[in-house]
Structures are given as structure tokens and as C-alpha cells.
Structure 1
């Protein structure tokens, strides 16, 4: 998956898009900040969470992870990209933050 992230970062930079990589999102439990965090692959233009996968198929836990990241970051949308498919567009799934 890391090779795909590197290539994706190259393409984003070539298009002049701002992004952060491997951003840690702190976890709060009962209003207490814990010494743990989630790590998001990419956040593009402070708007889109991008999670890169190379799996046989996206499964419900991948969607749940994306929804969690959306809730914690406040971003309006996420993109799950599975690179383990013959056509890349078949491996992409958009997720919308309905709580925003």
C-alpha cells in the first residue's frame, strides 16, 4: 500500500494540490485525550480523507474506518481506493460525512 501512496502523492503534487500524509488524529474517550491515535493515509486540501488499500475487496470495516476518520477530522468526504483491481475506478468508493 505504501508504494501506491507514494505514487498518489506524486500525482497530487503534480496537480498543485495541498495534502498531508500519515496524519495522526488524537482519540478522546469521555472527554479525555488518550495516548493513542488513528493514522490517516492522506488528507487532500483539508477536505477529503483518502485511504489507500491493496486488498481482495473492500469490506464493511473499511467503510466504518472511513466514517470514523470523517467524524474525527470533520472533513466532508472520504475516498477509499483499492488498487488491487483490474480497473482503478472499480476499486474507488466515495464516502460522505452525513454528520457535518
Structure 2
């Protein structure tokens, strides 16, 4: 996917997060925000899947382990959803690992438990 399309989708994602935050506010379960974001993307005719399983390989060997991407937008952008009072550094490490393991270029860590959603969104780029 080209950079212009990724940037266009990034704006849509940030706006969708804003709409969800304004509509239902902070402090709810992550699953509520995940559901609401999926509806926002559906209303905007943006393909988004939740809890997308990705197998974990090590040097080409299947570890038998997998992880789940909270939301995958247009098969390209990883969203990791949080509703946490404290944003632990492990959350950033998690999305960076997800981007690498899924071979995706762009991701967002979104904490809906922020008074202002703009303070709860962090963008990550994987230089593949």
C-alpha cells in the first residue's frame, strides 16, 4: 500500500477514535471500544477485522504460539486498543513486536482511558 493511502487511512483512524471517545467517553472496557471502532469503520466502508490471529515463527520454525491483533485495518494497519490508567512501556514494545511479526508498516496504540483522546493515540512505523 502506498504512503498516501496509509496517511489517508491514518486520518480516518484518528477521526474514528475521536468519534468513539466523544460518544461513549473514557473508562470502559477495551472490548467496548473495539466494538465501537469496528462499527465506525463499517459506517465509513473501511475494512477492519478484530482479534486477527497471527502465528509466531522463529527462524522459519512454527513455535505453536500465536497472538491476536486487536484490529487490523485494510489488512495493513495494526491497532492495539487499551483502556488503562497507566500506559506501561510494555504496551509500546507489544505493538512494535506485532508490526514486525505481522510484517506491517504502520500501527497505532490507542488508550481510550485518556481525558483527551489526542493524548491517548500514539503512531508507530515499522521500517520494513
Q: TM bucket by the smaller chain? A: over 0.9
Q: Which runs of structure 1 show a deviation greater than 4 angstroms over 4 or more consecutive aligned residues?
A: none
For 1:8-87, what aligned pairs fall within 5 Å after superposition?
A: 8-87=37-116
- Normalized per residue, the structure richer in helix is 2
1:85 positional shift: 0.8
TM-score of the superposed pair, with normalisation by structure 1: 0.93
- C-alpha distance in 2, partners of 1:97/1:68? 9
The runs of 5 or more residues in structure 1 that have no matched partner are: none
RMSD value, Cα: 1.0
The runs of 5 or more residues in structure 2 that have no matched partner are: 1-29
1:28 positional shift: 1.2
- Normalized per residue, the structure richer in strand is 1
